[in-house]
Amino acid sequence: MKLLSGVIRAYPWGSRTAIARLRGEQPTSAPEAELWFGAHPGGSSLIAGTPLIDIIAADPAGTLGPRVVAEFGERLPFLMKILAAAEPLSLQAHPSRAQAMEGYQRENAAGVPVSAPMRNYKDDNHKPELLVALTEFEAMAGFRPLSETSVLFDALACPALERYRSMLVGDPAEEESNLRALFTTWITIPTTARHQLIDALVERARDHLSSTSECGWIEEACKNLLALADRYPGDVGVLGALLLNKLTLQPGEAIYLEAGQLHAYVHGMGVEIMANSDNVLRGGLTSKYVDVPELVKVLDFHSLRRVVRHPESDDSGWDHYPVPIDEFSLAATTLNADESRAFAITGPTIVLCTNGRALARSGAEELTIGPAQAIWLPAGAGSVELISQHPGTQLFRATV
């Protein structure tokens, strides 16, 4: 059992205050977008100054356990983060494992350096991800059913949209092909036509909001359109975002995103866990490289109807967030002062504190962690008891 030091990633969309305040520090001069806890080659956490990735490499079976090594190889299968968005992230999707392996090999064969800005596949792994909100958290996630998008078209009453109306109607069995056709049309629309369409949509969204006192999902979609168009004027991602579910998570609620599901986090702070990968295909709302054909190749054009997920509690006092993959498992608990939770270590585990303070006890070892601090527990650690030293101590447990 060891203290695990997170690694800050200073992406432009990050907050200058959220992670700093969580740590009890003053706001920073640079954005702090993510705080990584894991063993990713692009940013490994440290134990007493030594990268966790090196500690695992020196003893894979001892740190990960024979079961994990047999199934996932000699690397930690997951990456845990605190994510703090002050501005929208890029519109993006992640490849499946098969797509990642093929793309990684293809770009290697073409001689594209892994560090190149035009590289799509940084590794050969997929990147399913789960985000649990710590604050109110705004996000766009998955394509909205076309029947609902048709209702949005009606509310906007924008003549420039009518030429695309035929792609919204038809047999429900054709929804996937219709979504593909509409998204592909919009993401490849000529620049002048794109700007004209976005300008028309912005005007109609403003008119709609000024003429209603309602605050339902249509109004949220309009506000989101205006915010994105203001932040990224003329960007093709503004059109893509119009087809996505827009939602606001409350603390404790979650989003799970599988391969190919288009999404963009907008604002807020959360705990995120994903398969240990950095593969991202972007479709707008960014100054980074956008590869439209590759993005369309990996996208899943099924509409996403179940977006917000809630935890399932058990008798142990942990709230679990079930996911249909094996790389990671995430659970959370909130403790009163002096209340404790004990659990057995069945694989490599990271315990992250997001509020309060807790004493961790494993055998003769004891460690104390506070907000934005974490503990690394190798596969052979046995069992751990977590004892709250503060009312409302919140802990997240990540394992395989």
- 53-88 pLDDT tens trace: 999 999 999 999 999 999 999 999 999 999 999 999
- Same domain for 77 and 11, yes or no, is yes
Query: To 5 degrees, how large is the angle CA 284–CA 287–CA 293?
Result: 45
Catalytic residues: 282
Q: What is the pLDDT, as a whole number, of residue 305?
A: 84
- Say if residue 200 is in the same domain as residue 174: yes
Q: Report how far residue 267's alpha carbon sits from residue 230's, in angstroms, rounded to the nearest whole number.
A: 15
In angstroms, the CA 158 to CA 139 distance is 25
Residue range(s) defining the domain that contains residue 269: 2-140+248-309
pLDDT (tens digit per residue) in 244-296: 999 999 999 999 999 999 999 999 999 999 999 989 999 999 988 999 999 99
Which DSSP category does 83 fall into?
A: E
- Check whether 126 is labelled as a binding-site residue: no
Q: Which two tokens stand for residue 31?
A: 């954005």
Full DSSP string of 186-207 = HHT--HHHHHHHHHHHHHHHHH
Cα–Cα distance, 228 to 237 (Å, whole number): 8
In a domain, 316, yes or no: no
Q: Is residue 315 part of a domain?
A: no
Residue with tokens 């104390």: 368
- Contact call for residues 195 and 234 (beta carbons, < 8 A): yes
pLDDT of the residue at 380: 86
Residues 269 and 355 in one domain: no
Distance CA 149, CA 221 (A): 10
Per-residue pLDDT at 315: 86
The full length of the chain comes to 400
Same domain? 149 vs 39: no
Q: Is residue 110 domain-shared with residue 152, that is, in the same domain?
A: no
Q: What is the pLDDT of residues 176-214, one digit of tens each?
A: 999 999 999 999 999 999 999 999 999 999 999 999 888
- What CATH code is carried by the domain that includes residue 94? 2.60.120.10
239 and 252 inside one domain? no
Is 390 annotated as contributing to ligand binding?
no
Q: What's the rounded Cα separation, in Å, for the pair 71 and 88?
A: 35
Would you say residue 281 lies in a domain? yes
111, part of any domain: yes
Position 318 in a domain: no
Q: Of 39, 47, 122, 50, which Cα lies nearest the Cα of 81?
A: 39
Q: What pLDDT score does 299 carry?
A: 97
Is 13 in the same domain as 68? Answer: yes
- Give per-residue pLDDT as tens, 303-352: 988 889 999 998 889 999 999 999 999 999 999 999 999 999 999 999 99
Residue 392: inside a domain: yes
Q: Are residues 191 and 154 in the same domain?
A: yes
pLDDT for 272 equals 98
Residue-wise pLDDT for 92-119, tens only, equals 999 999 999 999 999 999 999 998 999 9
Amino acid 160 reads A
Q: Is residue 236 part of a domain?
A: yes
84 and 221 inside one domain = no
The answer to whether residue 399 scores a pLDDT higher than 90 is yes
Residues 69, 132 within the same domain? yes
Does residue 157 fall inside a structural domain? yes
Q: What is the pLDDT of residue 226?
A: 97
Q: 231 and 260: one domain?
A: no
CB under 8 Å to 294, separation ≥6 — which residues?
Answer: 103, 120, 281
pLDDT at 125 > cutoff 80: yes
What span, in angstroms and rounded, lies between the C-alpha atoms of 296 and 314? 40
What is the gyration radius of the CA atoms in the chain, in angstroms? 22
Annotated binding residue at 175?
Answer: no
User: How many structural domains comprise the chain?
Assistant: 3
92 labeled binding residue: yes
The structure tokens listed for 34 are: 């993510």
Least confident window among 120-134, 149-163, 165-179: 165-179
Q: Indicate the average pLDDT of the chain.
A: 95
pTM of the model: 0.95
Residue 54 burial (CB count, 10 A): 12
Strands 383-388, 308-309: pairing is unpaired
Q: Residue 375: exposed, middle, or buried by beta-carbon count in 10 A (0-12, 13-18, 19+)?
A: buried
**Same domain? 104 vs 180:** no
Q: What percentage of the chain carries pLDDT values higher than 70? A: 100
- Tell me, what's the pLDDT at 61? 96
The reported pLDDT for the residue numbered 129 is 97
**Residue 330 one-letter amino acid:** L
The CB-based long-range contact list for 214-217 (8 Å cut-off, 24+ gap) reads: 217/148, 217/246
